[in-house]
Amino acid sequence: MANFDILSLRTIFEDQNVMICFNGPFSHSVIEQLGEAVKNYLRSSEAPKDRIADVFSVFVEQAQNLKNYTTRTDLQSVQHSSGAGGTLAIAHEGENYIVSSGNLVQSEDVARIRRYIDPLLEADKGELKRMYKQRLREPVEQEEGAGLGFISMARKAVEPLRYSIKEQPDGTMFFNISVVI
Amino acid sequence: MTKLEIEAGNSSPSVRFDPESGLLEIGGESYPENSKEFYRPLIGWIEEFLEASSQPVTLRLTVTYMNTSSTKYMIDILDRLEAAHDEGHAVAVEWHCDAENGRALDTIEELKEDFEMPFEVISEWREPDEW
């Protein structure tokens, strides 16, 4: 590709203080290997262990959501070649870390995502704990997947979760969630 | 029953259960690709043991990290032990965690709130590259 320009890509990463970024299909081995890299990177920084554990935990929840969502076979129509897989980045944001990820979602899933996340935005620590415990106790078979993960992310975040769902020019929807730790 | 031994994987914990001593140990990181596939057989094994034997059981956890779906299965294991405790089976839980990771300690203390069986949280020193 004559137009490919890695320097401009690098400049974008540096401007946004990106530590680690992965774009593409998330397999379980990608998650394990990126996870090792994330841990090693954080351990070489001055970050205390709790913070490293929180960043790693949010990374795993987001990466597993991306993998689980983008490997669903009914998504083949949405995941055309340019949009396959997901994007996940860990960056510095001031004194904090930000773990952010995004992927294309089907329009029928938008309401479910909002139903999971919206109640978490206003909830205080006590309410989040109550929601977490309640969901933890729901029978395993009924677990819809991402619900508990979002609550766990909200509990580790130092500010409310940031999320957006943006319609793309081709009509697909792009879902992004960011967690500040 | 025979000994149960599962080696740790990159993202799955090690499991050891010695039916003679009744010691069940789960350690390491737990975020397997399919937590149901990993934990279901283990839960089945625990149930079978609790039914077949009156041997006291100690669950020693040295898990350093659990994702949310593993946590759900861990609660399932603890619930079964609690049920056995309610029926008079001698059961104890020992959950070890890194003294420097206050978050992990809080998480375990919070889970402990829901149980009546003997449940000890042990905070200990670990290497900087462990948690």
ipTM above 0.90, yes or no: yes
Tokens of B25: 């140990």
Residue type for B68, please? T
The whole-angstrom distance between A28's CA and the closest CA on chain B is: 6
Judged by DSSP in three states, A27 sits in: coil
Q: What is the pTM of this model?
A: 0.92
Task: Give chain A positions within 8 Å (CB) of B74.
Answer: none
- Cα–Cα distance, A89 to A110 (Å, whole number): 22
Alpha carbons within 13 A on the beta-carbon side of A19: 21
Question: Are B11 and A53 within 8 A, CB to CB?
Answer: no
Among residues B19, B77, B85, B93, the alpha carbon closest in space to that of B52 is found at: B19
The whole-angstrom distance between A51's CA and the closest CA on chain B is: 8
- Cα–Cα distance, A119 to A60 (Å, whole number): 22
| Nearest-CB residue to B67 (from A49, A60, A137) | A60
The whole-angstrom distance between B46's CA and the closest CA on chain A is: 17
User: What is the pLDDT of chain B when averaged over all its residues?
Assistant: 93
Mean pLDDT split into 10-residue runs, chain A, 181 residues: 87 96 94 94 89 96 92 56 80 95 92 94 95 87 72 96 94 95 96
- Break chain B down into helix, strand, coil percent, rounded to 5: 35, 30, 35
Among residues B68, B58, B66, B73, the alpha carbon closest in space to that of B12 is found at: B66
φ and ψ of B18, to 5 deg:
-110, 110
Mutation site, A26, A44, A135, A140, interface B, largest B CB count within 10 A: A140
Please, are residues B131 and B98 in contact by the beta-carbon 8 Å criterion? Answer: yes
Q: Would you say residue B57 has pLDDT above 60?
A: yes
Number of other residues whose CB lies within 10 A of the CB of residue B19: 17
Residue type for A138, please? E
Whole-angstrom Cα Rg for chain A? 17
Please, are residues A45 and A20 in contact by the beta-carbon 8 Å criterion? Answer: no
- Cα–Cα distance, A70 to A67 (Å, whole number): 5
Supply the pLDDT for residue A135. 92
Task: Give chain A positions within 8 Å (CB) of B102.
Answer: 50
Give the distance between the most distant pair of CA atoms in chain A.
55
Q: Would you say residue B71 has pLDDT above 90?
A: yes
Kindly state whether A57 is in contact with chain B, defined as any CB-CB distance less than 8 angstroms.
yes
Positive or negative: CA dihedral A54, A58, A59, A64: positive
Task: Give chain A positions within 8 Å (CB) of B72.
Answer: 136, 140, 143, 148
The whole-angstrom distance between B41's CA and the closest CA on chain A is: 14
